[in-house]
Structures are given as structure tokens and as C-alpha cells.
Structure 1
Amino acid sequence: MIVNVNKYMRRKILKLAWPVVLEMFWIMVVNVSVTAMVGKFGAVALAAVGLSAMVQFSSAMVFAAVGTGAASIVARESGAGNWEDVRLVAGQAVLLGLVLGSLLAISGYFIAPALFILTGAEPEVAGLGSALLKIGFIFTPFFLVFSIGNAVLRGLGQTKTAFYISSASNTFALLLSFMLINGYLLPGIGPYGAAWGTGVSQLIGGIAVLVVLSFNGKIKLNWHKVFSIRAAVLKRIVAISVPAGLEQLALQGGRVAYTFMLAKAGAIQFAAHQIAVQVESISFMPGFGFSVAAMTLVGQYIGKGLPHRSAQYAWLTNKIAILSMTAMGVVFFLFAERLTALFISDTDVIYWGSMLVMIAAFEQPTIAITYVLGGALRGAGDTKWPMYVTITGVWLFRMPLIYLFVVVWNYDLTAAWYITVGDFFLRSIILWWRFASNKWQDSVKTKSELISN
């Protein structure tokens, strides 16, 4: 009987995870393809497109954390069968995304040149990059609606629907970018085509997710209620979203600082680092997929009043993720040189890149734990602890040590990657302790608090 139960649970986990993995894979394919198209215009265009995308994505993801709060509540309320609460949360989350996205779009548009000055980019790169960044910021409200709406669908367990919307949007981005960059059927505008192609696809994705939420059998957004501010609902969303947003701020800020520090290691090592990141990103796909599965299942079973089953799902998801990502780590270690050589032919870059990929192999199990147990805690509404852990690992451990070893003591980039292995090990240990303590159950509430007359 236990075997049958575990088999059923595994199926449920994998059913939620695989669409997310495919979604992440297709996003990667589209990004790599657009980057390759821009590459023919030279290093300046490539750097400008890459930096503008990084700045916009990093700033938007802080506010997209509203989706984390909404998904966590939606998972619990849908598990409890409180469908009116689900509608209220989904609607208010969309409204919040529109407001925050509009504010970010307006402010970002005007401060785009200043943001590029902060990156330290060369004047030619900064000029083109700030123009591309302005285009990107125009579409921020739609990007946030798209991200938040898809998060709500995942909270409902409808990861397939989210995958279909995301894949359609990104496929459109690929096609439109190709036509605008190369002048095929449309006027050719070079690197600007990447910004407009991506932006218009976000507009379409945002509209598509609103249509789906409006006609979804379990939600059917009431637009009158969407634009009626519900203070209690917004307060509950914000209470969970703010720590998640601060976590994203710590992550994205760390990513930018990390990139700037590693750039000091020289062109060859930094190129090797960029390629190693691309190789390792393959393993992040199952990690994120299992994180979503854990968040959804933990939230839904808390809503059903079964926190012990939530814990069972979290630990089983954790086990599957560790096994999957450890297997990927073995592949990284054994085929590091071949994987690196797929991206470049320079022997020096391949040498350094393969070393970094081999180091990355050792952090795969702890990345799995960090993703899954972090997702499980978010599903329970305990978003503060993932925030604490991220700030501790990234800013109190990784950043100071990398600064000392790479910037001050001039060690090569292998030191930075070994430190990153230690960062994920530290974070995984703390998250394991937190989830195993069951203290996340202390604040669990299974009854509806949102319905108002």
C-alpha cells in the first residue's frame, strides 16, 4: 500500500514539474537564439542587448514576487475549496502587477541612462543599451501581469496551461525578433528588433494570461472586483510577497555584483565563466520545476488541513530533485570539456570553462535542496526564511569571500566557483533545518480570511 501511495505521489509531483521544466528549456532556447542573431552586429550590440535585458529582468523580478505571494495563497485556498478567495487573490494580484509595472515602466524609462552608467559600460554600449532598456521598460506592466498570472495558474496546479501560454509568447518573441533583426517581411532594425520582439511578446503574453484567467473554469475573474481595491486581500498578498521580493532583490543584486567582480579576472576567464553559467543553467530547469511542484502541493495540502501530507510531498519532491540533479552533476563532471566546446572553439576558454563546469557538478545536490525546500516554505507562506537564507548565503558569505579572493588577492575564477559551492551548501543546510523543524506549520491557517460582503 505504501508503495502505491508513493507511486501516486511521484506521479503527481512529476505531472506538475515537467511542464515547468519544458517551459524553462524553451525560454533558454529562445534567449540563446536571439543572442546569436544579435551577435552578427558585433560585440557592442551583443553587450548592449545582454546588459539591458539583465537590468530590466533584475528590476522587474523584484516586483514579480507578487506572483509568489499570490501563488502561495491560491494554492492553499484552492486546496481548502475557497474559490471565491482564489478569485479575489488572483484579481488583486493582477491589479497590483499593473500598478507596480506602470510605476516601474515610467521611472525606468527616464532613469535608463543613469542605470547604464552604474553598470560601468563603455559609452558606445551604454548609449545603445539605454535605448534598448527604455523599450523594455515600456512593456514592464505586461511582463508583470504575465508573470503573476502564470504564477497563479501554477498555484492552482495548472502548470500545463502556464507552459502553453509561456511557450506561445516566447515562440512569438523568437519569430518577431528574427523578422525585425534581419528585415524579413518587416523593416530591419538590427539589435532594436530584439527589444521590440521581446516586448511585444510580453504584451501578448499578458493579454493571453488575462483571457485564460477570465474564462478559467475554477477562477473566472470578475473584472468589477479586480478593480475594486480589497485592503484585506492586498495586505495578505503583500505580507507574503515583500519577503519574496527582498529575496529577489538580494539574488538579482548579488548577480549583478558577482558579474562585475568576476569581470576583473580577464576576458578569457570571464568568457569561460559565462559559458559555464550557460551549461549549468540546464540543471536549473528541473530544479525550478520541482520547486514549483513543492510549493503547489505543500500549499494545497495545507489548505486541505493536512500539513503532514504537505511535509510528505515536500520530502519526496526533495528526494526526486536530489537524484535528478546529482545525475546531471555526474554528466557535468564527466563531459565538462565537451559541453564547454559546444559554445566556443578557443582552447584556453574551453580549458577554464571545463574546470568551472566540473566544480559546478558538486553543487547540484545542494541546489536541488535549496530550490525544493525553499519552494516548500513559500507554499506554506513562510517566505521570510528563504529571504533570510538567501541574504545570508549571497551577501554575508559569497560576496565578501569572492571580493577577497578574486578582487583583493587575485585568485582565478575557480575560487569564486568553489565559494559558490559553499554558498549553496550553507543555504541547503539552513533550509533543511528550517523545514525539518516543522516550525513553518505554526502559522498555517486553513480557514478563509478574505471573504468580505
Structure 2
Amino acid sequence: MSPVVRRQSRVMRLALPIMLGMLSQSMLNLVDAALVGHLGQEALAGVGIGGYTMFMMTALVFGLSSSVQSQTAQDLGAGKKAVSRSLGAGLLLGALVGIPLSCIAWWQAPALITLLSPADDVSRIAVEYFRWRVIGLTAIALTLCFRGYWNGLQHTHLYLRIIVIVHVFNVLVSAGLIYGIAGLPKLGANGAGIGTTLSLLLGLVIWASVTVKKNRPWGYRLPSLGAVRSTLYLAFPHSMQQLWFAAGYVVLFWLLGRIGTESVAVGHVLVNLSLLLILPGVGVGIAAMSLVGEALGRDDQQAAHRWGIDALSVAGMLLTVLALPMLLFPTTVLAIFFTDHGLIQLGTLPLQITGFMIVLDAAALVLAQALMGAGAQRTVMLLTLSMQWLVFLPLAWWVGIGMEYGLLGVWLVQLFYRLLNSGSFLWVWQRRRWLAQTC
């Protein structure tokens, strides 16, 4: 076996559990929608809006995962005994940020929901659902730290095992609380929120138990101020990136709404398909983060650079295979979601463009994560958000609405944006200035 194939195989071994775990999360979202959907369209809309608001809140703590993972991987490569220093710092930050943030969000839930849903019936359901969900924000923050720690140690199989347990528990408890099954109270949409929060708490207990059992990481002492500062320094840019990236999708759908209802319907399908199919690229990128960090911890800069390229080749092959049905059989794919021939016709060419975008996205998906493994979170944030907010969204408005090219125009602009974005990440990676940002 050649060295390149050996490295690619290692990338796949690390990435596969992450991919499967992310896929199970996507499937769980569909199951939740199906469970709530039987309560009526208002309940489904309320849970959808409440869930998206919760996603925005989660973005504020999401950077803890990459921060802990990149530092853990570098400490592992350097052979340090105290590889859990960043985990302790992340857990402290997660508690300090998560607890007050969840309290404020619970208190201001009506104001937050009103920004997305002016309808009284829908907003009432959304507020109640969101309040049950946001109780678990601190659990999410702490879980992200544990996940980043174990991914940094390259034990990605733990993520898959734990998330499957959590998801099965979530489905069973949520179904019971929504419909009053097995003697549980019938709580409707609120039951879905309670079930999800309880499953998050279960997941946190499992992560903590496994961590304490396997290596008792911190000696039960508070982390140093330096460790907290380093963890916050790396976490903040990634959290801001996630928050504003998600906000960019709100603006995108607002633009599609200005074009027409049909464009919104087709756009939702295209976006959800692309977000689902890029998961292998994200999984490979997370694996690359650990491998790059470990190599830099050993002070092997050449190996760190090579891991990024090897991971990119793996992601490129996976995403190309996944894009083929959209490129070759677009009408068949769209027929799964639409019966209206007009919508299928409207979405055919944009779906093929989406297929090309998924392949082009490989470099951005993988190298962004690899750069985080080198501690270059700020570079990733600036590049990602500048491309989205300064290039894509203004051009999408100008071409799609101003020049009246509609949905097709927006998707052509998005194709150009993805090409430019991935090309920029590849250029940054090849220049290797990120080596100077190693944490």
C-alpha cells in the first residue's frame, strides 16, 4: 500500500464515525418533523421556528468544539501529559457562557421568536418549544467540549456510539411525550422540546462518565487562566462564524421570498439537500483537524500540510459520487419532493448547479477545518464571512432581484461564490502562512 493510500485510509477511518453520527442527526431531524407534523401545520411551523432559533443560540457556543479539538490534537502530537488542559478550560467556559445565556434566552424568548414569526398561534408554540430546548444549551456547550476532546485524541468512534444512544432515547421519549404513550403526559409540541433536552442531558452524562472513567483528566482542579484564554481565543471566531453564516441563510431565503413562493419552495429543497450531502466533507474536515493538529504538535509541518491535501482528495471523491444523481438525474431527484411539474422544471438546472457546488465545496469544507487544527480560526472566520456577506449575498440580490434572473440567477451566483471560496481556502493552505498561527 502506497503512503498516500495509507494516509487516505487513516482519514477515512477517523471520518467515517463522524459522518455516520452527522447522518443520524439529519435523520433525527426528519423523524422529529414527522412526529410533530401529525399535530398540524401550526405545530410543525412553531417547532421549526423554535428549532432554528435554538440553532442560532447553539452557534454562540459551537466554537468550543473546534477550540478544544485543535488544542488537544496538538498536545497529543507534542507528547504532553496534560492533554486535557483545553477540555477543562472549555468546560469552564461552557458553563460560564451557557448558564447565563440560556437564562437570558428563556426570558427573552417571545422577543426572539417574534423576529422570525409574526403569527400569534405559531409564535406561541415556538416560544414554548424554544424555552424547553434552551434549557439544554449548557448541556450542548459542555457536550461540544467533550466531543472536541475525544475527536482530538482521534477516538471518533465514541461520538458515533454516544449519539446513536442519545438519538434513540430522544425518539422514544419525544414520541411518548408528544402523544402521551406509555403513561407519559400528552404534551404536544412541548413534548418534542422536553424529549430533546432530556436526551441532551443523557448524552452529557455519558460523555462525562466515559471521560472520567478513562483518564480522569483534570485532577478535579480549575484550569489555568492561560488555558482559558487560549480556548476562548480559538472558540470565539468559530462561534461568530457559525452565527453569521446561519444568519446568511436567513437573508438568502428572504431574497428568494422576494422572487416568489415557488423559488422559496425549491430553494428550501436545494439547500437542505446540499446541507445533507456535504456531511461527508464536513466529517473528513473534522478528521483533518485532528491529524493536522497532531502533526503540528510533533513540529512536522510537512506532514500537517500533506494531511490537508490527502483529506481534500478523499472528500473530493466522496462528494463527486454523491453529486452524480443530481447532475445526471435531476428531474428524478426533484420528483421525490415535488409533484408539480412547474416546480420540477424550475428546480432542474439549479439542482444540477447544486451538484457542481457540492464538489467545489470540498476544498472549503476540508481546509477550513484543517486550518482550525492549526489554530487559524480567525483566518477561517474572516474568509468565510467575507465571501458570504461581501460577495455572495450582494451579488445574489443584484442578479436575482435587480437583474430579474430569479432563482437560476441566485444559484449561478452561488456557484461562482463556492468556486471563489474554495479557491481562496486552497490558496491560503498552499501559502502555509497558517503555520505561524499554530496554538
Report if TM-score (shorter chain) is over 0.5: yes
Query: CA separation in 2, counterparts of 1:95 and 1:59?
Result: 18
Question: In the alignment, which residue of structure 1 is the partner of 2:254?
Answer: 260
Question: In the alignment, which residue of structure 1 is the partner of 2:25?
Answer: 27
Write the letter of the residue equivalent to 1:130: V
Question: In the alignment, which residue of structure 2 is the partner of 1:298?
Answer: 292
Q: Equivalences for 1:102-181 in 2 at 5 Å?
A: 102-181=99-178
Q: How many positions carry a matched residue from both structures?
A: 438
Write the letter of the residue equivalent to 2:254: F
Question: In the alignment, which residue of structure 1 is the partner of 2:414?
Answer: 420
Q: SS at 1:119's partner residue? A: coil
Q: Is the 8 A contact 2:288 2:369 kept in 1?
A: yes
Query: CA separation in 1, counterparts of 2:403 and 2:46?
Result: 30
Query: Which TM-score applies when normalising by structure 2?
Result: 0.95
Query: CA separation in 1, counterparts of 2:342 and 2:219?
Result: 58
Question: Which of 69, 89, 93 matches 1:92?
Answer: 89
Q: Is 95-104 or 120-129 further displaced after alignment? A: 120-129
Query: CA separation in 2, counterparts of 1:152 and 1:344?
Result: 42
Matched, 1:222 2:188: no
Question: In the alignment, which residue of structure 2 is the partner of 1:207?
Answer: 205
Matched, 1:325 2:319: yes
Query: CA separation in 1, counterparts of 2:180 and 2:344?
Result: 34
Q: Equivalences for 1:40-119 in 2 at 5 Å?
A: 40-84=38-82, 86-119=83-116
Query: CA separation in 1, counterparts of 2:117 and 2:181?
Result: 34
Q: Is the 8 A contact 2:59 2:240 kept in 1?
A: no
Query: CA separation in 1, counterparts of 2:190 and 2:259?
Result: 30
Question: Which of 391, 409, 432 matches 1:438?
Answer: 432
Query: CA separation in 2, counterparts of 1:194 and 1:438?
Result: 47
Identity among equivalent positions (%) equals 24
After TM superposition, give the deviation of residue 410 of structure 1 in Å.
Answer: 4.6
Write the letter of the residue equivalent to 2:277: S
Q: Is the 8 A contact 1:333 1:358 kept in 2?
A: yes
1:267-312 C-alpha deviation (Å, 9 max, x unpaired): 3321222122232233211111111111110001111121101111
Question: In the alignment, which residue of structure 1 is the partner of 2:359?
Answer: 365
Q: Is the 8 A contact 1:279 1:340 kept in 2?
A: no
Q: Is the 8 A contact 1:250 1:390 kept in 2?
A: no
Q: SS at 1:187's partner residue? A: coil
Query: CA separation in 2, counterparts of 1:353 and 1:26?
Result: 27
Query: CA separation in 2, counterparts of 1:262 and 1:212?
Result: 46
5+ residue gaps, structure 1: 446-453
After TM superposition, give the deviation of residue 351 of structure 1 in Å.
Answer: 3.0
Q: SS at 2:217's partner residue? A: coil
Closer, same or farther in 2 for the Cα pair 1:332/1:200, shift >3 Å?
Answer: same
Give the CA RMSD over aligned residues. 1.7
After TM superposition, give the deviation of residue 405 of structure 1 in Å.
Answer: 3.5
After TM superposition, give the deviation of residue 229 of structure 1 in Å.
Answer: 4.5
1:33-54 C-alpha deviation (Å, 9 max, x unpaired): 1101211222211111111111
Q: Is the 8 A contact 2:263 2:407 kept in 1?
A: yes
Write the letter of the residue equivalent to 1:277: V
Q: Is the 8 A contact 1:39 1:46 kept in 2?
A: yes
5+ residue gaps, structure 2: none
Q: SS at 2:31's partner residue? A: helix
Q: Equivalences for 1:217-366 in 2 at 5 Å?
A: 217=215, 220-222=216-218, 224-225=220-221, 228-366=222-360
Q: Is the 8 A contact 2:400 2:408 kept in 1?
A: no
Q: SS at 1:216's partner residue? A: helix
After TM superposition, give the deviation of residue 115 of structure 1 in Å.
Answer: 0.9
